[in-house]
Amino acid sequence: MTTVSWSSEPGTSRGPGPFLSVRDLSVRFSTEDGVVHAVDGLSFDVEKGTTLGIVGESGSGKSVTNLTILGLHDPAHTEIDGEIWLEGQELVGADASALEKLRGNRVAMIFQDPLTSLSPFHTIGRQIGEVYRKHKGASKKEARDRAIEMLERVGIPQPATRVDHYPHEFSGGMRQRAMIAMALVCDPDLLIADEPTTALDVTVQAQILDLLKDLQEQFGTTIILITHDLGVVANTADNVLVMYAGRAAERGTVREVLSKPSHPYTWGLLSSMPRLTSSVDVPLTPVRGAPPSLLNPPAGCAFHPRCDFPQLVGSDLCFTQRPDISPENGHGDACYLTLQQKRDIRTGDTEEQA
Amino acid sequence: MTSFLVRRVVGAIVILILISLITFYLFYAVPRDPARAFCGKICPPETLELVRHNLGMDKPLFVQYWLWLSAIFVGRDFTQFGPCPAPCLGYSFATQQPVFSAIVDRFPVTLSLTLGASVVILSFGILTGMLAAWKVGQPLDKIASSSSVIGASLQIYFVGPLVVFFLVDTLGLLPRPSYVPFTEDPLTWFVHLLIPWVVLSIIFTANYTRMTRSQMLEQLAEDYVRTARAKGMSGRSVFFRFAWRGAMIPIITIFGVDLATLLGGAIITEQTFTLHGIGELAVRAVQNTDLPMLLGVTVVGAAAIVILNIVVDVLYAFIDPRVRLN
């Protein structure tokens, strides 16, 4: 049963706003153990032609959010609240045929593991071509030519031969290229890349990210890049959204979030990364504790059990009141610490490290 | 493909030789003496010797086996029965009939029974399984799933007579099961075998319903199915074009294994409906200690299963491009 609420009728348009706007999105799954609050009151915007990097641990709701944009959850077990506007079209509660027309056409998605994500039973060319046939009404011949063109565009050598091969005859990097070719075959406005490089080795990873960047420059595609790798975000994204327990912890431009992080969780993420400049003997500092259960998330700020600073906030705000991201626009975070307190903690940090 | 077939055929020959060898030695491990049975109740020792000689049982076992084996390819001259051209499986101890022609006479009955039941099992089992997966959790799924459990426990010798009683004797809807050669009258062949087919396939169909359902559900949860949906493919095309292929692979594999059981079931079915097939020959051969007939039936039955399994493997490669035959 899908309980959906929206402020206006689905399919109606709204005045010019951001290219993609997610407003107060909540996604709950009913499981045998209870209701999982996978996404809980998430809002963010993406401007046309930019790349938004979404980072966070496993289970922070990154993938769930993006599958919701495409309406790919099983409606029988999912409850969705909130709004998702894509250029004035409301996607939450949109009917199946409207979503089918959208998927692979205006909004395309690439997944983490290109081997399991491609059908083992059909040739690469057919899998690329059928998207084109479905959405553009192309003939078999046109679809095949388009598939070859796309394979060439994503840098697969001998595309005219490769088009008739099966996924198992491709290497990991090639498969992901083929996957990207498939996603871009209809020139989508929005590309959602769900950990596109996690299953690839480092050199291939760099090639794939470069490819995405090049394609974006050429075609002005808007990209949402889901990753848990801050290095990938630093190289590719314009804006960053840090997610924790299904909510936004921090949001801003890449420069703001990576060089002036303001949420304790982002600090933790950044200090858990190895640095080339530090000595190899210095142990990494992980974020202590484990991600919270989304069946029964902690009251107040979901991060408080792992946070070192609730006592600085003074009252029991962190334990009882859920923080919202502030300020409304620009660089913001969901934390009760004052700017001064954050500055003090950060300088202390740097002193410690020095 | 050719090298695959050559390899499989060579393998099949080795298997058939092993099966015949084991059957042969097992037969001699049984303490009953076929020569004595052949000779009759009052049997003087010299007649017994003569019978033994005529049956070729006075020679060492491996010589007997070799004579039997070579006769298949080059034929054999029996002092008692006269020449037997290749492929010769010898003469029945009990009826003195050439074994090969006896099997050729009966084989179409068993083959019709097995193939017909296979068609029912696969089409009906897969269809209901897919329907159950399509409507998962809904009443249709529950009916299909629970009736498949009931079906799996309905034995041939129990259901067979019941069906005949109701459909033939009481309602007169169908003729009493019998065998009319397909080449003579396809329609009569079909109508008369309908009850045996359905009865033989009930147990198996239930299994295939359950398997298809669970395989489909498993495939629908695969990443590549999610990709297909993310591409904008409709639910129906995802179900029938993508998930179906993956679900069929384990089903075909299991079917290859089930063929042997199905042939065994065909023998029970023949007994239940008194159809004169290979099964009847086999049962009688065991009762009569009829070595040539027993060997013949065993080897022909095994050959049928081995050949059908090769067909299954070829089919497999057609469905899954990752399986290369070479």
Instruction: Identify the pLDDT of residue A150.
Output: 92
CB of B229 within 8 Å of any CB in chain A?
yes
* A260 three-class SS: coil
Sheet of A222-227: strand order equals A107-110, A190-194, A222-227, A51-55, A239-244, A247-253, A332-333
Instruction: Identify the pLDDT of residue B257.
Output: 87
Q: Are A190 and A224 in contact (CB under 8 A)?
A: yes
Residue type, B248: M
Answer yes or no: do A96 and B322 touch at CB < 8 A: no
CB atoms < 10 A from the CB of A172, how many? 14
Answer yes or no: do B230 and A120 touch at CB < 8 A: no
Select from A104, A166, A168 the Cβ nearest to the Cβ of B231.
A104
Give the gyration radius of chain B's Cα atoms: 24
The pLDDT tens digits of the residues spanning B282-292 come to 988 888 888 88
Residue range B213-232: mean pLDDT, rounded: 92
Residue type, B169: D
CB of B227 within 8 Å of any CB in chain A?
yes
Report the distance separating Cα B210 and Cα A293, nearest Å: 35
Give the chain A residue nearest B220 (alpha carbons). Answer: A74
Residues of chain B numbered 238-297 and touching chain A (CB < 8 Å) = 242, 245-246
Answer yes or no: do A96 and B235 touch at CB < 8 A: yes
Answer yes or no: do A131 and B246 touch at CB < 8 A: no
| Range picked from A4-8, A160-164, B270-274, B321-325 for highest mean pLDDT | A160-164
Residue range B32-57: mean pLDDT, rounded: 78
| A45–chain B nearest CA distance, Å | 22
Instruction: Identify the pLDDT of residue A16.
Output: 60
Percent of chain B with pLDDT over 90: 26
Give the chain A residue nearest B227 (alpha carbons). Answer: A117
Instruction: Identify the pLDDT of residue B325.
Output: 61
Please choose, from the candidates A194, A162, A155, A192, the residue with its C-alpha nearest in 3D space to the C-alpha of residue A177: A155
| A143–chain B nearest CA distance, Å | 15
CB of B217 within 8 Å of any CB in chain A?
no
Report the distance separating Cα B276 and Cα B107, nearest Å: 9
ipTM metric? 0.82
Give the chain B residue nearest A165 (alpha carbons). Answer: B321
Answer yes or no: do B223 and A134 touch at CB < 8 A: no
Range with the lowest mean pLDDT among A45-54, B45-54, B158-167? B45-54
As beta bridge partners, residue A110 has: A193
Answer yes or no: do A100 and B232 touch at CB < 8 A: yes
Give the chain B residue nearest A169 (alpha carbons). Answer: B322
Vertex B41: Cα angle to B36 and B45 (nearest 5): 55
Residues of B in contact with A72 (CB under 8 A): 226, 229-230
Instruction: Identify the pLDDT of residue B318.
Output: 83
Residues of A in contact with B233 (CB under 8 A): 100, 104, 130, 134
| B245–chain A nearest CA distance, Å | 7
Phi-psi region of A247 (alpha: psi -120 to 50; beta: other; left: phi over 0): beta
Residues of A in contact with B229 (CB under 8 A): 72, 103
As beta bridge partners, residue A55 has: A227, A242
Select from B232, B242, B321 the Cβ nearest to the Cβ of A134.
B232
Mean pLDDT by 10-residue block, N- to C-terminus, for chain A (354 residues)? 42 65 92 90 92 90 91 87 91 89 92 89 93 93 94 91 94 90 92 87 85 89 91 91 93 92 90 75 79 86 88 84 85 89 77 44
Instruction: Identify the pLDDT of residue A167.
Output: 93
Residues of A with CB under 8 A from a CB of B: 70, 72, 76, 96, 100-105, 108-109, 111, 113, 116-121, 130-131, 134-135, 166, 168, 179, 182
Answer yes or no: do B222 and A116 touch at CB < 8 A: yes
CB atoms < 10 A from the CB of A282, how many? 10
Answer yes or no: do B230 and A116 touch at CB < 8 A: no
**pLDDT above 70 (res B148):** yes
Answer yes or no: do B227 and A121 touch at CB < 8 A: no
Answer yes or no: do A118 and B227 touch at CB < 8 A: yes
CB of B324 within 8 Å of any CB in chain A?
no
Q: Are A253 and A50 in contact (CB under 8 A)?
A: no
Which of B218 and A348 is assigned the larger pLDDT?
B218
| A214–chain B nearest CA distance, Å | 22
Select from A117, A121, A134 the Cβ nearest to the Cβ of B246.
A121
Residues of B in contact with A109 (CB under 8 A): 227, 230
Q: Are A239 and A229 in contact (CB under 8 A)?
A: no
Give the chain A residue nearest B234 (alpha carbons). Answer: A100
Distance between terminal CA atoms of chain A?
56
Residues of B in contact with A179 (CB under 8 A): 227
Please choose, from the candidates B177, B182, B205, the residue with its C-alpha nearest in 3D space to the C-alpha of residue B117: B205
Q: Are B310 and B5 in contact (CB under 8 A)?
A: yes
